[in-house]
Structure 1
Amino acid sequence: MELSRLQHLTEAKVLVVGDVMLDRYWHGDTGRISPEAPVPVVKVSKVEDKAGGAANVAKNIAHLDGQVGLLGLIGHDTDGIALEKTLEQDHIASQLVKVEGYPTIAKMRVISRHQQVVRLDMEETFTQAHSESLLERLKTVVDDYDIVLFSDYNKGALASIEAMIDVAKAAGKFVLIDPKSHDLARYRGANIVTPNLNEFKLAGGLVDSEELLTQSARDLITSAGIEAMLLTRSEQGMSLITATEKYDFAAQVLEVSDVTGAGDTVIATLAVMLGAGMPAKDAVEMANLAAGIAVGKLGATTVSPEELSRKLGQYLRATGEHYQTPFDDVLKHIEFAKQNGEKIVFTNGCFDILHAGHVRYLAQAKARGDRLVVGLNNDESIKRLKGADRPINPLNERAMVLSALASVDWVIPFGSVEENDTPAALIEKVNPHVLVKGGDYTVEQIAGADFVLSQGGEVEVLTFLDGCSTSNVIKKIKA
């Protein structure tokens, strides 16, 4: 498996079709029991909207840098408007069909002290006629994508799934399906279906032994006219089964925090990796690694290319390769991290010749939050600041070395003449929770400090390791 394929994630063009939902969370504290009934009173302090169902699959694809479109059914209501707004923030090209007289499917959860108090479901099953309107929309956009992924939650959007698959296959598309029907023949023509163990058993799969499991899976896909099955098996990992081959992948997590949305992460990662040119076996291996990351987090969350790269490096026992986020994608990745509740730290510098002082400083900066962004002076900026014989190492090489450090999540260049060689404009774009600078500065002297403080952020000055500087390294080399 080549880690370098992660540099091609943007080549994946995936259309997700299915049952979209709005996941709404009311967060608050519980301090008393209601005088009206023996139930806790939750004082709501924050309301959070997230993409759910097929929309969460699309979100996972977007957060892995895939180009993703989304087709689904919503109502003419405020929940539908909220879902569309959420999808726009996630950079998903959604074309949701609005249905008169039906609500947008919404799951409302009340959360107090990290515990779910109650869940309220707002939904009506969409009809065959509604699904056929989605089929007509599919016909108009299918040519823009290479992979069509059907996410079935049995809410009616895919009532016309047989005709939808025919449209996708006639257009020469690779078809992935996360199934809900016990009758796999409904998915005839699919390249890969991804049932979990319970769905597999309900479809007629046998699990009394590994031999029976394999043979019954082959019987099911052969009779249903499906090319392959990716069976997700919880703590047993997952298995890719075709008519002639079977590949098993061990679970990649030591401690499970929450399995919510893990199936969405699996099929989304599989789609992106296939779209990036990976063979099916390698794409499943990546999906298995992504599942291990996802279940180690709380709630329905996503996996980033950076997390997948680090996990893959550990899995392959280091290959000398590493993934570096393209400069143009860094701001988008920062936005996604903020949506996941992660604390962003920013620092900046030239980092021309990396030395022990830099490594120590960056580790200290990372400890102030969850993700560290390094603003890196471009080559022209360094020449203006340090002289014509600098930098020693060009921008791309400096960025590669920095991004290989465990403490650094993202590197992004700055330093145009218009910016006066300061990161102030970049800091406004990043809008970090914490701004860190090393050296003998006061907060007032730090570029971007006023902005960060005005946004409710923190500014902190760290000391450098005595005697360590790029200039001293160069002097020693010349001596």
Structure 2
Amino acid sequence: MISLPPFNRARVLVAGDVMLDRYWTGSTSRISPEAPVPIVKVGADRALPGGAANVALNLAALGVGTQLLGVIGSDEAGVLLRQRLVEADIAASLVESASHPTITKLRVMSRNQQVIRLDFEESLADEAAFDRAVFAADFDRQLRDVDAVILSDYGKGTLSDVATLIALCRAANKPVTIDPKGSDYARYAGATLLTPNLAELEAVVGVCADDETLVVKATQLMLGLQLQALLVTRSEKGMSLLRPGQPALHLPTVAREVFDVTGAGDTVIATLTAALAAGADIEDAVRLSNLAAGVTVGKLGAATVSPAELRAQLSPDRGSEQLAMSEDTLLAWAQQQRARGQRIVMTNGCFDLLHVGHLRYLEGARALGDVLIIAVNSDASVRKLKGPTRPLNTAADRMRILAGLKCVDAVVEFVEDTPARLISRVLPDVLVKGGDYTVEQVAGHEAVAAAGGRTVILDFHNGYSTTSTIARAQQN
């Protein structure tokens, strides 16, 4: 049985194409009179580490000691990226280029849909972009303090001299994993492991119509490049691990629902390498990365995975207990999520008898952000609201059941009549309530709005209610 390795004892260096992911989010209510395009009234501006910096963010989320080496411009985007990395406790060594901007992807969003993406970048493969000798020397210096290395290649030019970095890793006897780009894989010869997705692999070896063809072609590539392993991620088909002289390991996907595959490759290589650095064997490391991928695709946007989420995948009962938190633990957890760029969604209720309407409502709430917190009425609070015969289930049991749902990330109890005080302490990015409320009636909406968040009313699903379920049971 797989166990979670001691991630907090591992140190990993990430080098590659760092970026800043920006999100401008707002409402859309009309079409521009100047052109047939929607007008987005921007109300929120989020800036998150992207590219190799998102790989580093995934490592930090696991508790790994993380170092990052990359190139940024002398601009506002570079300043923002540095700030976000400091907040995530990532030791970043970022070379500033005087001639090239920080690679930035700006997404304009409305109603959870991307309206347009604007890219700001110039190829760092240009010899004048930065001093590669200085970069390699810094890389070599940092190698001494880490257990493993990730080279995150997004094809932007930072790793145009990747062969030199691989040679340095081999000389220092440090495992080096690479997320490759392009069709020239010869430049990655001698690496420990590559993690191409199926489309990237087929661009190099040709179409792989079935498992047998994939194994043959991927094995030939692996042996030709003198790799120790090759991991092919295959979207809904899971992933396949190839090793010299051993049978292929095909792992099915573990995702229950897929909201967004953005950044899933970053999560895979980060989890895999973190596990190797922490002492896991390669097969267990791949299995953990597959579990992590299943978690992250259930979130919107490039997301990270915590040890608690992985632990919940390995041991659902134990994980459910850990997701039910005290208020102080929740506040510390929420602060960690916010530092990692996660968008926090919060809702509340009695949730006495869970039914399909509840599940659809909670899945809809989770889709509005990255993590979902549920505040649950105490038993005394339920009695005040529902009468002396309720609740049917204790607060502890209700919290345990909610924590077992895939779409729930944290559960906390509140003892007051409303969760307004708790909400004012958590200050979620999105506060959610069911469709029989108006925004003005939602407890805590003023504090959330004052902090720059928003309140969303979701429609209830007709035909489902705890009261009607109890009535039907009594009639029967």
TM > 0.5: yes
What corresponds to 2:184 in structure 1? 183
1:293 paired residue among 292, 295, 305: 295
CA distance in 1 between counterparts of 2:38 and 2:94 reads 37
Range that drifts further, 324-333 or 303-312: 324-333
CA distance in 2 between counterparts of 1:332 and 1:194 reads 34
Q: Is the 8 A contact 2:67 2:92 kept in 1?
A: yes
1:171 shift after superposition:
1.3
**Secondary structure in 1 matching 2:344:** coil
Cα deviation code 1:13-68 (max 9, x no counterpart): 11110000001111011122222222211111111101111111111111111111
1:322 shift after superposition:
8.5
Count the aligned residue pairs. 390
**Secondary structure in 1 matching 2:255:** coil
What corresponds to 2:229 in structure 1? 228
1:258 shift after superposition:
1.1
CA distance in 2 between counterparts of 1:280 and 1:174 reads 11
CA distance in 2 between counterparts of 1:431 and 1:134 reads 41
CA distance in 1 between counterparts of 2:411 and 2:8 reads 18
1:344 shift after superposition:
6.3
What corresponds to 2:268 in structure 1? 266
What corresponds to 2:464 in structure 1? none
What corresponds to 2:337 in structure 1? 337
1:306 shift after superposition:
1.4
Amino acid at match of 1:102: H
1:307 shift after superposition:
1.5
What corresponds to 1:2 in structure 2? 2
What corresponds to 1:22 in structure 2? 20
CA distance in 2 between counterparts of 1:113 and 1:266 reads 29
Q: Which runs of 5+ in 2 are unaligned?
A: 353-357, 367-371, 377-396, 413-421, 431-446, 454-476
**Secondary structure in 2 matching 1:111:** strand
Q: Is the 8 A contact 2:308 2:319 kept in 1?
A: no
CA distance in 2 between counterparts of 1:404 and 1:56 reads 32
**Secondary structure in 2 matching 1:203:** helix
Q: Is the 8 A contact 1:16 1:54 kept in 2?
A: yes
Q: Is the 8 A contact 2:12 2:64 kept in 1?
A: yes
Amino acid at match of 2:63: D
Amino acid at match of 2:275: M
Q: Is the 8 A contact 2:346 2:375 kept in 1?
A: yes
The structure-2 alpha-carbon separation of the partners of 1:164 and 1:453, relative to structure 1 and needing over 3 Å to count, comes to: closer
CA distance in 1 between counterparts of 2:24 and 2:308 reads 30
CA distance in 2 between counterparts of 1:19 and 1:283 reads 24
Q: Is the 8 A contact 1:222 1:243 kept in 2?
A: yes
CA distance in 2 between counterparts of 1:329 and 1:10 reads 19
Q: Is the 8 A contact 1:324 1:403 kept in 2?
A: no
Q: Is the 8 A contact 1:128 1:156 kept in 2?
A: no
CA distance in 1 between counterparts of 2:401 and 2:274 reads 26
1:32 paired residue among 30, 33, 49: 30
1:378-397 maps to which residues of 2 (within 5 A)?
Answer: none
What corresponds to 1:395 in structure 2? none
1:411 shift after superposition:
11
2:86 paired residue among 71, 85, 88: 88
Cα deviation code 1:291-349 (max 9, x no counterpart): 111111111111111111112224xxx6x799969999987642233342224699xxx
CA distance in 1 between counterparts of 2:286 and 2:72 reads 32
What corresponds to 2:282 in structure 1? 280
**Secondary structure in 2 matching 1:266:** helix
TM-score using structure 2 length = 0.72
2:122 paired residue among 124, 139, 153: 124
What corresponds to 1:152 in structure 2? 153
Larger-Rg structure: 1
CA distance in 2 between counterparts of 1:431 and 1:321 reads 22
CA distance in 2 between counterparts of 1:430 and 1:305 reads 24
1:67-216 maps to which residues of 2 (within 5 A)?
Answer: 67-126=65-124, 127-128=126-127, 130=130, 131-216=132-217
What corresponds to 1:462 in structure 2? none
CA distance in 2 between counterparts of 1:302 and 1:42 reads 28
**Secondary structure in 2 matching 1:16:** strand
The structure-2 alpha-carbon separation of the partners of 1:323 and 1:271, relative to structure 1 and needing over 3 Å to count, comes to: farther
Q: Is the 8 A contact 2:260 2:299 kept in 1?
A: yes
The structure-2 alpha-carbon separation of the partners of 1:90 and 1:373, relative to structure 1 and needing over 3 Å to count, comes to: farther
The structure-2 alpha-carbon separation of the partners of 1:404 and 1:247, relative to structure 1 and needing over 3 Å to count, comes to: farther
CA distance in 2 between counterparts of 1:309 and 1:80 reads 35
1:182 shift after superposition:
1.4
**Secondary structure in 1 matching 2:287:** helix
Q: Is the 8 A contact 1:345 1:432 kept in 2?
A: no
What corresponds to 1:55 in structure 2? 53
The structure-2 alpha-carbon separation of the partners of 1:176 and 1:373, relative to structure 1 and needing over 3 Å to count, comes to: farther
Amino acid at match of 2:304: T
What corresponds to 2:473 in structure 1? none
1:204 shift after superposition:
1.2
Range that drifts further, 156-165 or 126-135: 126-135
1:406 shift after superposition:
6.0
1:432 shift after superposition:
5.7
CA distance in 1 between counterparts of 2:168 and 2:69 reads 14
1:224-263 maps to which residues of 2 (within 5 A)?
Answer: 224-245=225-246, 246-263=248-265
What corresponds to 2:443 in structure 1? none
Amino acid at match of 2:112: H
1:215 shift after superposition:
1.4
Range that drifts further, 217-226 or 331-340: 331-340
1:387-426 maps to which residues of 2 (within 5 A)?
Answer: 407=403
1:276 shift after superposition:
2.1
TM-score using structure 1 length = 0.71
Amino acid at match of 1:161: V
What corresponds to 1:313 in structure 2? 315
Q: Which runs of 5+ in 1 are unaligned?
A: 347-358, 375-400, 413-426, 435-450, 458-479
1:112 shift after superposition:
1.1
Amino acid at match of 2:123: T
Q: What is the Cα-based RMSD across aligned positions, in Å?
A: 3.9
CA distance in 2 between counterparts of 1:429 and 1:111 reads 26
Amino acid at match of 1:231: V
Amino acid at match of 1:274: L
**Secondary structure in 1 matching 2:118:** strand
CA distance in 1 between counterparts of 2:256 and 2:180 reads 28
**Secondary structure in 1 matching 2:218:** helix
